């Protein structure tokens, strides 16, 4: 099914205003109302324009884009929410955390959650339209296990894809495992995942839950970026969507994600 987009009617001043509100919300950790509460007819194009404007503001503040994230990749979740496609956001250098340093709940937005994902590091650029799995596989330089901490700048939480897009696809912190796999001959559809919380297994899944394969997630992203005249660059890191479920977090929690095919594990812990 193809999406038929409405003509953009939101003016640039309004787009910039909303982008600034989202940027300030992250700095102060004070959420704002969902954008669609005020603009219920917000289009996907307008939402991406707001996101891109907010990324420009981040760059002016000194932040750097180091990669992209793809969200809403679980087809079952898409069906429940009435969503026809994933969304994407930008990973900034300020989003990167470390396994050995606890994340402080006091420095996160309201109601953070955690997802386990596979991160791909590119050894060459990828540009659409017409991207294929073969081209993506040829461009992969390495793979790492990753956790994404989902943070929303909007509250109460909205279920619309437009609000997610405006909010940089709810990208919060990203934690990478210590193992970089550069030589691989694996089926990306069948990578197993086990998530442990405080030493107890809570989630088991496999990578096919991400659009059938995380590689397909990158194919979608490259072709989507092409509609904005953008591409993926050499050395960018792409997190391709949650393999397992999204899990709530609280102070004192310790999460591990163990990936099959020898990809290794990733850890994150939370403090007050």
Q: Is 237 exposed, middle or buried (0-12, 13-18, 19+ CB in 10 A)?
A: buried
Strand partners for 193:
205, 259
Condensed to tens digits (0 to 9), the pLDDT of residues 49-67 reads: 999 999 999 999 999 999 9
Ordered by start, the domain boundaries in the chain are 65-271
The mean pLDDT value for 175-186 works out to 95
pLDDT of residue 75: 77
Range of weakest confidence among 50-59, 77-86, 128-137, 148-157:
77-86
CA separation (Å) from 143 to 117, 121, 146, 253?
11, 6, 10, 26
Q: How confident is the model at residue 140 (pLDDT cuts 50, 70, 90)?
A: very high
What is the CATH code of the structural domain delimited by 65-271?
3.90.850.10
Residue 39 has pLDDT above 50, yes or no: yes
Return the closest-CA partner of residue 146 out of 216, 230, 214, 65.
214
Q: What is 132-150 written as a DSSP string?
A: -HHHHHHHEEEEEEEEEEE
Q: Are 115 and 150 in contact (CB under 8 A)?
A: yes
What whole-number distance in Å separates Cα of residue 154 and Cα of residue 170?
Answer: 9
**Model pTM above 0.75:** yes
Q: Quick check: 7 pLDDT over 80?
A: no
Task: Work out the average pLDDT over 120-130.
Answer: 98
Give per-residue pLDDT as tens, 198-228: 999 999 999 999 999 999 999 999 999 999 9
**Could you read off the pLDDT of 65-101 as tens digits, one per residue?**
999 999 999 877 777 777 889 999 999 999 999 999 9
pLDDT at 4: 40
Q: What percent of the chain has pLDDT over 90?
A: 90
Measured CA to CA, the distance from residue 170 to residue 130 in angstroms comes to 27
d(C-alpha 157, C-alpha 248), whole Å: 14
**Helices 44-60 and 12-28, packing angle to 10 deg:** 60
pLDDT score at 83? 82
Q: What is the mean pLDDT of residues 190-198?
A: 98
């Amino acid at each position: 099914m193809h999406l038929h987009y409405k003509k953009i009617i939101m003016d640039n001043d309004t787009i910039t205003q909303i982008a600034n509100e989202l940027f300030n919300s992250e700095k102060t950790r004070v959420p704002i109302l969902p954008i669609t509460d005020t603009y219920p007819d917000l289009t996907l194009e307008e939402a991406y324009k707001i996101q891109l404007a907010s990324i420009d503001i981040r760059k002016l503040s000194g932040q750097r884009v180091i990669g992209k994230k793809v969200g809403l990749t679980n087809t079952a979740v898409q069906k429940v929410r009435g969503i026809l496609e994933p969304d994407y956001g930008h990973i900034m250098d300020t989003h990167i955390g470390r396994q050995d340093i606890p994340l402080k709940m006091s420095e996160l937005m309201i109601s953070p959650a955690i997802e386990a994902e596979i991160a791909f590091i590119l050894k060459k650029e990828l540009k659409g339209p017409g991207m294929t799995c073969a081209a993506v596989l040829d461009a992969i330089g390495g793979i790492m296990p990753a956790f994404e901490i989902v943070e929303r700048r909007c509250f109460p939480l909205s279920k619309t894809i437009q609000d997610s897009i405006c909010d940089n696809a709810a990208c919060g912190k990203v934690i990478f495992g210590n193992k970089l796999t550069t030589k691989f001959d694996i089926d990306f559809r069948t990578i197993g995942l086990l998530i442990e919380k405080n030493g107890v297994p809570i989630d088991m899944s496999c990578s096919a839950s991400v659009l059938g394969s995380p590689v397909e997630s990158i194919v979608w992203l490259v072709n989507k970026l092409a509609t904005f005249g953008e591409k993926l660059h050499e050395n960018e890191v792409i997190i391709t969507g949650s393999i397992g479920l999204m899990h709530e977090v609280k102070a004192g929690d310790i999460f591990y994600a163990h990936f099959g095919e020898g990809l290794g594990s990733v850890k994150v812990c939370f403090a007050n």
